[in-house]
């Protein structure tokens, strides 16, 4: 599993450091993301994030090693095989946030199209959206067509020609395509941490309910008082105590959004919402309670998928097409990702974010 993420090691200035991580999917989930088992494959220097296809310069040496690993190599000795062991390895999964996923795998912006299916974005009222839920059964993108288009991009002999080509096809070259087995559609997951919690949860509460005037400052004060009455085990994490300050729900992390919706939201929000928004809340709480479980059954995953479809339709019909964001649509692919790779927590983003925090505490001179 490959991940690329940026963090800022300095408090007083904007300076982005990129880290390329890898996790070994053969390891059980309970130890796969332990600090000692994660691999740091590369560091991308700042101060700015590496733009678009230029990230290929950093991927190239990693791909060289992955090609060697795919061909196979012999270990002289292992714990169980004193006479040596022949091993092979492959990159089967890319797990990043949406912009980084598109950057390292050669897809264009989420405001143009979905990177897993043929769904195209709309441009209405001088802004993009991915509304249009009359048909949610779009065909998966063709990996071979993507690969051919990527080769076409590489044959362009100028930046202007490449820009025109990307505008026409929506594809750039990625060094990962040098891996003969790599599928630039199916091997890209929808990261549930960003999609569900930093994407949908945050969007519904702040952009639809607060900015839409459904949750007023007075409502936020009442919600805070209601939440203060809760007594939960300390190991579940802590919700910030000033939900009502600022614009409301300020600086919530993904984990805090998860805790809020799985524990607090129904009781604290119910009286402040209309019937439609209560239905949205009910569906989303159910989705979260199913998908964050460490045991998933196919019938429950299908139920979560149906609830996500209903959420998107309710938002589109009652709050407007402009409220349908790429995260809302991408959530409809979580079922397929789970079918391919198992439990969502087996490939979500929390562990790599934790590693960023660890690396950020190292002496700054190493960067």
Q: What is the pLDDT of residue 5?
A: 87
| Closest C-alpha to 292, from 338, 324, 353, 253 | 338
List, run by run, the mean pLDDT of 10-residue segments along the chain (367 residues): 86 84 89 89 87 88 95 89 90 88 84 80 72 65 89 91 89 93 90 85 92 91 86 71 75 85 91 95 94 86 93 92 87 89 78 78 59
Q: What is the DSSP string of 56-103?
A: HHHHHHHHHHHHHHHH-EEES--SS-TT-EEE------B---HHHHHH
247: Cβ contacts below 8 Å, ≥ 6 apart:
206, 210
Q: Are 316 and 323 in contact (CB under 8 A)?
A: yes
Rounded (5°) CA angle 280-243-311 = 10
**What 8-state DSSP symbol labels residue 302?**
H
Q: Are 235 and 212 in contact (CB under 8 A)?
A: no
Q: Are 163 and 294 in contact (CB under 8 A)?
A: no
12: Cβ contacts below 8 Å, ≥ 6 apart:
none
**69 φ, ψ (degrees, to nearest 5):** -65, -35
81: Cβ contacts below 8 Å, ≥ 6 apart:
75
Q: Are 83 and 192 in contact (CB under 8 A)?
A: no
> What would you measure as the largest C-alpha separation in the chain, in angstroms?
72
User: Length of the chain, please?
Assistant: 367
Q: Are 153 and 162 in contact (CB under 8 A)?
A: yes
**140 φ, ψ (degrees, to nearest 5):** -65, 150
d(CA 1, CA 60): 16
Q: What is the pLDDT of residue 367?
A: 47
Q: What is the pLDDT of residue 241?
A: 67
Alpha carbon 364 to its chain's center: 28
d(CA 143, CA 182): 9
Q: What is the pLDDT of residue 364?
A: 57
d(CA 204, CA 252): 14
What's the helix, strand, coil split of the chain in %, to 5?
50, 10, 40
Q: What is the pLDDT of residue 204?
A: 94
Strand-pair partners of 42: 20
Q: What is the pLDDT of residue 182?
A: 93
d(CA 107, CA 114): 9
């Amino acid at each position: 599993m490959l991940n690329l993420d940026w963090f800022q090691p300095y408090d007083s200035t904007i300076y982005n450091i990129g880290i390329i991580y890898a996790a070994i999917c053969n390891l059980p989930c309970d130890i796969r993301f332990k600090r000692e088992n994660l691999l740091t494959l590369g560091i991308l220097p700042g101060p700015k994030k590496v733009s678009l296809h230029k990230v290929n310069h950093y991927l190239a040496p990693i791909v060289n090693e992955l090609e060697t690993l795919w061909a196979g190599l012999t270990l002289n000795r292992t714990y169980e095989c004193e006479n040596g062991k022949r091993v092979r390895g492959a990159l089967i999964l890319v797990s990043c946030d949406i912009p980084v996923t598109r950057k390292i795998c050669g897809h264009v912006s989420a405001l143009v199209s979905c990177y897993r299916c043929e769904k195209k974005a709309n441009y209405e009222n001088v802004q993009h959206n991915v509304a249009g839920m009359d048909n949610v059964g779009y065909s998966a993108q063709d990996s071979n067509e993507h690969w051919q288009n990527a080769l076409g991009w590489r044959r362009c002999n100028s930046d202007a020609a490449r820009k025109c080509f990307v505008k026409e096809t929506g594809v750039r070259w990625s060094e990962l395509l040098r891996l003969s087995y790599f599928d630039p559609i199916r091997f890209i997951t929808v990261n549930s941490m960003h999609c569900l919690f930093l994407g949908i949860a945050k969007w519904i509460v702040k952009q639809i309910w607060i900015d839409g005037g459904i949750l007023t400052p007075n409502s936020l004060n009442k919600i805070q008082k209601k939440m203060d009455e809760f007594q939960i085990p300390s190991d579940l994490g802590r919700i910030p105590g000033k939900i009502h300050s600022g614009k409301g729900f300020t600086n919530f992390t993904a984990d805090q959004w998860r805790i809020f919706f799985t524990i607090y939201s129904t009781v604290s929000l119910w009286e402040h919402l209309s019937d439609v928004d209560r239905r949205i809340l009910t569906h989303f709480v159910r989705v979260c309670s199913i998908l964050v479980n460490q045991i998933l059954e196919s019938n429950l995953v299908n139920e979560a998928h149906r609830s996500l479809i209903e959420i998107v339709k309710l938002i589109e019909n009652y709050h407007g097409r402009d409220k349908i964001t790429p995260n809302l649509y991408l959530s409809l692919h979580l079922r397929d990702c789970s079918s391919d790779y198992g439990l969502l927590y087996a490939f979500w983003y929390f562990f790599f974010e934790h590693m960023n925090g660890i690396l950020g505490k190292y002496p700054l001179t190493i960067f």
